[in-house]
Amino acid sequence: MTDTMPSPSRRHRRAAVESRALERVAADEETLRHRRSRLVTLGDAFRAFVAHPSPWMIGAVLVGGLVARVAVGDWRWTDALVPVVMVALFPVVEWTVHVFVLHWRPRRVAGVRLDSLLARKHREHHADPRDIPLVFIPWQVLAKLVPVYVLVALLAFPRLGLGLSFLTFLGVLGLFYEWTHYLIHSDYKPRTRAYRAVWRNHRLHHYKNENYWFTVTSAGTADRLFGTYPDPGSIESSATVKALHGSA
């Protein structure tokens, strides 16, 4: 009869991986305890947040879109529908970008290495989740994306007002994403049940297994839909959680 029990060497490797994962979490928690000897408030977090370029760039999109939207006028009921649809789709978009763009595995096609700045920076972010500048969307990426989104708002909608409503609320969602992601990686301590669930979800992604828990601004939404929201106790800790694709 075939022996289905794991070999001693395999059990040893698995135990070593689990041990390293527990050590990483314990070390990070210890660092957080020391840093939180002075309670970090939302005001403290916000002052640190606005010291980075991406909130200002996304904020400019929000303000510019809002000013243009008010100037254009032509308000209709479909303008109220835009934020509803965007909020409903946002977890799915967030999950898709995280899985297929941020966790992109570098590869060569016709001799050309395909590896975006977003993917490279995200691998660095996994290597050191406490490095705050790596938490934010790179400004170089935003400098390219913002004109694209403006063109979409101007050309892809049946009327200008609707496109500007889209652009304005895109700024709202962008700031919400950056703020939530920053707050999770900051020294701010969760105080509400809802935020603690989001905080825990993202920590599992960074310290337990990088192949699950991909949503950032919510917990158990798109991850449930796509099967990446398992019981943490049923999932082994990953040896590459801080070295995506083996630091490819």
Q: What is the pLDDT of residues 81-128, one digit of tens each?
A: 999 999 999 999 999 999 999 999 999 988 889 999 999 999 999 999
Are 245 and 105 in contact by the 8 Å Cβ rule? The answer is: yes
User: What is the per-residue pLDDT for 28?
Assistant: 63
Q: Which residues of 27-54 are buried (b: 16+ CB within 10 A; e: fewer)?
A: eeeeeeeeeeeeebeeeeebeebeebbb
The secondary structure of residue 98, as a DSSP letter, is I
- Residue 105: C-alpha distances to residues 88, 113, 141, 246 (Å): 28, 11, 18, 10
Answer whether 0.75 is exceeded by the pTM. yes
**What are the tens digits of pLDDT across the range 31-90?**
655 554 567 889 999 999 999 999 999 999 999 999 999 999 999 999 999 999 999 999
Q: What is the pLDDT of residue 2?
A: 44
- The residue type found at 81 is L
Q: Report whether pLDDT(212) > 80.
A: yes
Delimit the domains of the chain by residue range.
Answer: 8-246
The C-alpha atoms of residue 168 and residue 166 are separated, in whole angstroms, by 6
Taking phi over 0 as left and psi of -120 to 50 as alpha, with beta for the rest, 246 belongs to left
Helix (H, G, I), strand (E, B) or coil at 203: helix
Q: Which residue has the higher pLDDT, 203 or 23?
A: 203
A 10 A CB-CB count for 182 gives 20
Give the pLDDT of residue 3.
Answer: 47
pLDDT digit string, tens, across residues 157-192: 999 999 999 999 999 999 999 999 999 999 998 889
Number of helices and strands in the chain (H, E): 9, 2
Output DSSP code: residue 191. -
What type of residue sits at position 208?
Answer: K
Q: Answer yes or no: is pLDDT of 24 > 80.
A: no
